[in-house]
Amino acid sequence: MDSEKKIVLVVGGAGYIGSHVVKALRDAGKSPVVFDNMSSGLQENLLPGIPFIKGDTQFPEQLASAMKGVDSIIHMAALKAAGESMTEPEKYAENNISGTINLLNAATAAKVKYFVFSSSAAVYGEPQYLPLDESHPTTPINFYGHTKLAIENLLHWYSQLKGLRFSSLRYFNAAGYDVDGELNGLEHKPNNLLPIVLETIVGRREKVEVFGTDYDTRDGSCIRDYIHVSDLADAHLKALDYLKHENQDLVINLGTSKGLSVLEIIQIAREVSGQEFNYTLGHAVPVIRLLFWQKLNWPQNCSAGDQNTVMRTHSAGNNSAGLSAEFVVFRSPNHQTHLIIIPIEQLCVFIF
């Protein structure tokens, strides 16, 4: 195949996760090109030698001109604040849904063959059973989750009608930073547990507030499934390889299935930083069926090999970084499990 046709266009490639995907593509010998409007992407996330196109999915002509030589697309660009999506749905409809329609139309017009979509476990809504698998009903309970599901539905139709092979990756919480230290651009406006812990360590906050200590978990605090961003980037490459080798669509969950509790995160932070800090007290639920191991042969080198890696690489990112989480799974005092959406700005720390 002509090498020009092997270009992978990473839409949103200057963002937190997208930049790690670009790095993984480069390190694997692929030919990534970044397409980003820089609304939340960062200049420092643009790697030397990687072509960059400043453009916006809202403008079809910009997308059309970016398609030259593109064989595959990895779509990372989206607005992702669940709380905001409930107050400004029109903003999310235009950016996430309409922008993706423009992207799909440009891709199919240019005969792009493969499309990897960075989706979200927010498509599931409240769990009807655990662990969640890919057959679980999809009934989002916020508009952000609806936009992700709407895009997945579009992909199914474009696959049937236009022959575009796609993979949709549903994941929970990305964490950490590039283990090689090449990428350390901080996500805009982080409001999640790890950066809050780190801001407390460096004195930007007085304390970490832990909400709930009587949950049915090993230490009474709530648990989340954290995936190191480098592993998540690798999963996007595995998904792309799957499309090329299997020539069939793929909708799949991503995660470690081994959560860390709030108190465990605090303890790891103390060990890695060597600093004591204040916290006030306020469930390892395996929420992902491990189909990705069977389908993608995806080793989680950073997430599973050393749990300190997530905290250590967060610390390397100038002690503050963001996570791509938008929902909370929690177990209530009567031990019923719920998946809910909470506007992040209403919490000092996630309750999971």
| CATH code, domain with 120 | 3.40.50.720
Please give the Cα distance from 213 to 224 (Å, whole number).
Answer: 15
Q: In 109-148, which positions are buried (b, 16+ CB within 10 angstroms) versus exposed (e)?
A: ebebbbbbbbbbbbbbbebeeeebebebebebbbbbbbbb
Three-state secondary-structure class, residue 321? coil
Reading the block at residue 157, the tokens are: 């139709």
Q: What is the pLDDT of residue 75?
A: 98
Provide the residue range defining the domain that includes 19.
3-173+228-254
* Torsion angle of the four alpha carbons 313, 317, 122, 253, in this order, in degrees rounded to the nearest 10: -30
Please tell me whether residues 198 and 111 are part of one structural domain. no
Please tell me whether residues 94 and 216 are part of one structural domain. no
> Does a structural domain hold residue 185?
yes
Q: What is the pLDDT of residue 313?
A: 64
Sign of the CA dihedral running 293, 265, 121, 325: negative
Helix or strand run (H / E) with residue 166: strand 165-171
Strands 337-340, 328-331: pairing is antiparallel
Please give the Cα distance from 146 to 25 (Å, whole number).
Answer: 29
Preceding peptide of 131 cis, ω within 30° = yes
Rg of the chain (C-alpha set): 19
Please tell me whether residues 68 and 196 are part of one structural domain. no
Please tell me whether residues 46 and 192 are part of one structural domain. no
Reading the block at residue 79, the tokens are: 């607005």
Residue closest to 254 by CA, chosen among 295, 310, 222, 314? 295
Q: What is the pLDDT of residue 45?
A: 96
pTM of the full structure: 0.78
Please tell me whether residues 273 and 312 are part of one structural domain. yes
Q: What is the pLDDT of residue 334?
A: 37
> Does a structural domain hold residue 152?
yes
Please tell me whether residues 55 and 157 are part of one structural domain. yes
Phi, psi for 314 (deg, rounded to 5)? -65, -45
> Does a structural domain hold residue 213?
yes
Please tell me whether residues 137 and 164 are part of one structural domain. yes
Inter-residue contact 279 to 318 (CB < 8 Å): no
- 144 flagged as catalytic: yes
Contacts of 2-5 with CB under 8 Å at 24 or more apart are: 3/31, 4/69, 5/69, 5/71
Place of tokens 């057959």: 135
Please tell me whether residues 163 and 235 are part of one structural domain. yes
Phi, psi for 120 (deg, rounded to 5)? -160, 150
Residue closest to 236 by CA, chosen among 2, 1, 11? 11
Return per-residue pLDDT of the chain as tens, 352 residues: 344 448 999 999 999 999 999 999 999 999 999 999 999 999 999 999 999 999 999 999 999 999 999 999 999 999 988 889 999 999 999 999 999 999 999 999 999 999 999 999 999 998 898 788 999 999 999 999 999 999 999 999 999 999 999 999 999 778 888 989 999 887 666 656 777 888 888 888 899 988 888 877 899 887 777 889 999 999 999 999 999 999 999 999 998 877 888 899 999 999 999 999 999 986 333 445 556 656 777 766 776 545 566 656 665 554 433 333 333 333 333 333 333 333 323 222 322 2
Please tell me whether residues 102 and 247 are part of one structural domain. yes
Task: Say how many domains are in the chain.
Answer: 2
> CA 307 from chain center: how many Å?
18
> CA 316 from chain center: how many Å?
20
> Does a structural domain hold residue 293?
no
Please give the Cα distance from 226 to 297 (Å, whole number).
Answer: 19
Q: What is the pLDDT of residue 336?
A: 35
* Torsion angle of the four alpha carbons 48, 54, 60, 66, in this order, in degrees rounded to the nearest 10: -30
Q: In 180-208, which positions are buried (b, 16+ CB within 10 angstroms) versus exposed (e)?
A: eeebbbbbeebbbbbbbbbbbbeeebeeb
Which one from 144, 158, 226, 242 is the annotated catalytic residue?
Answer: 144
